[in-house]
Amino acid sequence: MKTSNTMKFEGAWDVNRRINIPALVHAADGMAIERVVNALSGVHEVTINVEKHLVVVHYDASKSDYQEILELLENTGFPPSDNWWSRVKCNWYQFSDTNAKDNAKAPPPACCNKPPK
């Protein structure tokens, strides 16, 4: 279980997402969360801070998305905070991840003022 914040971006679609989890109270909870979230495709690193009830997930948004991580956490018994700010962040993160996934699938743009073939 890592506690430092040394996450480095490797690709164009890499993102860090901070998730507050009130049920995160023991180091064993943190290890369980880390094991489950690391199993998702595209997840590079998971950082746990038990004192702040915080999970930071570094992942490739073109392969995974925020909603998938939240559903996984809820299914394992660690639902995120359900306050106004958390819901706003959730909607913003999901919107951003959906755009990243769509843009990753888009064809490359025309180059040098040449029309596409």
Split at pLDDT 50, 70, 90, the class of 108 is confident
What is the three-class DSSP state of 7? coil
The residue written with tokens 């490797």 in the block is 10
Nearest to 47 by CA among 60, 66, 61, 33: 33
Structure tokens, 111: 């180059």
- Report pLDDT for 4: 46
Domains in the chain, ordered, with CATH?
14-85+96-102 (3.30.70.100)
Whether residue 54 has pLDDT greater than 50? yes
Model-level pTM?
0.81
Q: How far apart are CA 48 and CA 3, in angstroms?
A: 6
Query: Could you tell me where the DSSP H helices lie in 59-83?
Result: 66-75
Band (116; pLDDT cuts 50, 70, 90): low
